[in-house]
Amino acid sequence: MGCQWIKFYSFLVEKDVVAAEQVERMRERVKKEMPQWQERARRHNDPTITDPSNIWI
């Protein structure tokens, strides 16, 4: 999912809608936070977790 956003924003850079620096910051953020996002998605899909507050820890 993260790669699709990066491709989209890279396209926007080509069209001068956003700055390349903004895309680079987003790319770094996706790289840094992807493991946490994946873990949250795993917990969200875990049927044994019945308390929703435990998903977003």
User: What is the domain extent for residue 6?
Assistant: 2-46
CA 20/CA 52 separation, integer angstroms: 37
Task: Report whether pLDDT(56) > 90.
Answer: no
Counted domains in the chain: 1
Q: Is residue 51 part of a domain?
A: no
What's this model's pTM, rounded to 2 decimal places? Answer: 0.63
Q: Is residue 18 part of a domain?
A: yes
Q: Is residue 55 part of a domain?
A: no
Q: Is residue 56 part of a domain?
A: no
CA 44/CA 49 separation, integer angstroms: 8
Which amino acid is present at 2?
Answer: G
Task: Report whether pLDDT(2) > 60.
Answer: yes
* Mean pLDDT along residues 29-44: 90
Q: Is residue 57 part of a domain?
A: no
